[in-house]
Structure 1
Amino acid sequence: MKLKKLLFIFCFLLCASAFSQILSSSVEKKTIALGEVDHIVVTINDLKSEKVSAAAENELLPFHFEEVKDSISQTQDVYYRRIEFAVFEEGKFTIPALEFKVGGKILKTIPYEIDVINAAQKDDPINDIMNNKEVKLEVTDYWQLYKFYILAAIAVIALIIAVVMFIKYGRKSKDSPVVATNQTLKELDSLQKKKYVETGNYRSFYVELIDISRKFIAKQYRLPADVLLTDDLVDLMKKNNTISQENERVVEDVFVRGDLVKFAKTFPDKETMEKDLADIREFVKRSSKDLEFENLRKDV
């Protein structure tokens, strides 16, 4: 009875080996130096035209193994795969069991442990391949080396010049006599549209008219008209000689009348209010001639 069982087991194993594939694998070296090329070979025999499926080329080994070359060949009966690899870190690294699918069956290799060492010793001399050679640099070579620093320096200098020019001239353009004149004329037009003259609101009319005039004198003539009393402003204009006598007269008449209206000491009629508005408008227009004369006087 025992003999029959043994015979049955032998026949089963013989049949199984006759109709199954055989997978074998080998690694050339288990200890390698940093960057040294090693290889693993996987062979599957007795395929009987079965298709073999595995990871794609250069993707079979894990992360630390840098695959140098992955070659695959297959015939009807034999699958052959040779992978050359290198490792660039010291330590022990494992090639795990690699899976290959043959038909509907999974075959696996045995795992391998690879020991990676640094073959260079601390005291080993380092020899240059060739002697150092002095290289003469041309102007173009210096340009290629330092062009980004030069361009950055030029950009910074250009930015500084632009800021200085803006501070020096940009702000002045906004405060130029023409800009101040046009702005004040627009303010006078807005005052006229409020219909203070037509409605007889003389107090609001003179308050705004004198406020516009004071701001204009302060900006155009650089006099502190916005903080001085009327009498002090008139005295300063006469001593300063920047404003022409005709314009001084207009400012003095309108400002004095405005103060009287403000304290209810006089009640101007419509014609007087219209004349004062027109006189201030003409004064603003003539102001550029005062500045031209002042510039000529300074040049002399």
Structure 2
Amino acid sequence: MPYRLFKIFFSFFIFFFSLGFSQTLSSNLDKTTLALGEVAVFKIQILDLDGKDVQIAPRNELLPFHFEMVNDSIAKQKDIYLRSVKFAIFEEGKFKIPEIQVKVGDKILKTIPYEVEVINTAKKGDQINDIMKNKEVELDVKDYWDLYKFYVLLALIIIAIIVLIIGIVKWGRKRKDSPVVTTNQTLKDLEKLRKKNYIENENFRAFYVELIEITRGFITKQYQIPADVLLTDDLIDYMKNTNAISQENEKIVEDIFLRGDLVKFAKTIPTKEIMSKDFTAIRDFVKRSTKDVEAENLRNNSVTEISAEDQSKLRKLK
């Protein structure tokens, strides 16, 4: 009999000893039936940790896909681990929370599985009433400005950019093709020619070749005369027939171009004085060219006005 009592006492001692030194895992689900979107709470508790490490799914990844996490809080101390997960489900049907594996130190613990049923509590034909009736609010100019000012400002910026681009294109083209720009560029080219010292070195052939080439390019741009492709005689006839260039300037161009042809073909040798005189004459011609262009524009405008008047008279006679 004493031996039997000793055996019972020893068994109880081993049982209580194991309870005192082993971990206790418990879980709880507060609701197993939920309405769509209703929040439920799933809890896990581990006791008697004795400072051991707890390995479990990370925050917001504890429950399956259909469970939308609302909050996932974790509290851990030396002897206790608490985890509370608030969730909601937005689909009808039955969903399972599987057994969750928890590793405490070297020991594996598992929770019990749960099944959650989600139902739609709204019935067909139910009338949904607003808590408060809608109010009509009158908007003034300031309210409309606050609503649409971004779009108005954006439209104004786009319009300003388009106008600016058009202006730059037109202004740039006008500046590039204007008589003053062509004149200034040709004067710069003539100055480069002068600095080559062809006159001082009596390199007359190179001097006349470049001087006439510069002048041809200038006449082509400034007067819209195809001087860059016409022979000298043809160019002289063309200038006289168009009247775009004044007689004074025509005479200068004619004399220098004819002399240049004679020099290029070694039929005459000019002196330094003649070369200097021709250079100065071309430079002065370039400077005076804007007056020729202005006179030509006036003639064109006058012809246009007269033509318009004549057409009006003809219409009246008819």
Q: Same fold (TM over 0.5)?
A: yes
Tell me if structure 1 keeps the 8 A contact 2:27–2:112: no
The AA in structure 2 aligned to 1:115 is V
Partner of 2:17: 15
Partner of 2:309: none
Q: How far, CA to CA, are the matches of 2:164 and 2:287 in structure 1?
A: 33
CA RMSD, 1 decimal? 3.8
Structure 2 residue runs without a partner (length 5+)? 303-318
The AA in structure 2 aligned to 1:112 is P
Q: 1:297 Cα deviation (Å)?
A: 5.2
- Classify 1:222/1:18 alpha carbon distance in 2 versus 1 (closer, same or farther; 3 Å): closer
Tell me if structure 2 keeps the 8 A contact 1:251–1:280: yes
1:62 aligns with 2:69: no
The AA in structure 1 aligned to 2:100 is A
- Classify 1:190/1:30 alpha carbon distance in 2 versus 1 (closer, same or farther; 3 Å): same
Out of 126-135 and 177-186, give the one that drifted further.
Answer: 126-135
The AA in structure 1 aligned to 2:149 is K
Q: SS state of the match for residue 26, structure 2?
A: strand
Tell me if structure 1 keeps the 8 A contact 2:25–2:111: no
Q: 1:85 Cα deviation (Å)?
A: 0.9
Q: 1:93 Cα deviation (Å)?
A: 4.6
1:86 aligns with 2:79: no
Aligned match of 1:209 in 190, 193, 211?
Answer: 211
Q: How far, CA to CA, are the matches of 2:20 and 2:211 in structure 1?
A: 118
Q: SS state of the match for residue 199, structure 2?
A: helix
Q: How far, CA to CA, are the matches of 1:5 and 1:92 in structure 2?
A: 51
Q: 1:86 Cα deviation (Å)?
A: 1.6
Tell me if structure 2 keeps the 8 A contact 1:92–1:114: yes
Partner of 2:274: 272
Identity %: 46
The AA in structure 1 aligned to 2:228 is D
TM-score for the superposition, normalised by structure 2: 0.73
Tell me if structure 2 keeps the 8 A contact 1:87–1:116: no
- Classify 1:194/1:122 alpha carbon distance in 2 versus 1 (closer, same or farther; 3 Å): farther
Partner of 2:175: 173
TM-score for the superposition, normalised by structure 1: 0.77
Tell me if structure 2 keeps the 8 A contact 1:67–1:85: yes
Partner of 2:140: 138
Q: How far, CA to CA, are the matches of 1:230 and 1:59 in structure 2?
A: 93
Q: 1:50 Cα deviation (Å)?
A: 4.2
Q: Spell out the pairing of 1:39-78 with structure 2 (5 A cutoff).
A: 39-44=41-46, 47=48, 50-51=50-51, 59=59, 62=62, 64-68=67-71, 70=73
Out of 237-246 and 216-225, give the one that drifted further.
Answer: 237-246
How many pairs align?
292
Q: SS state of the match for residue 210, structure 1?
A: helix
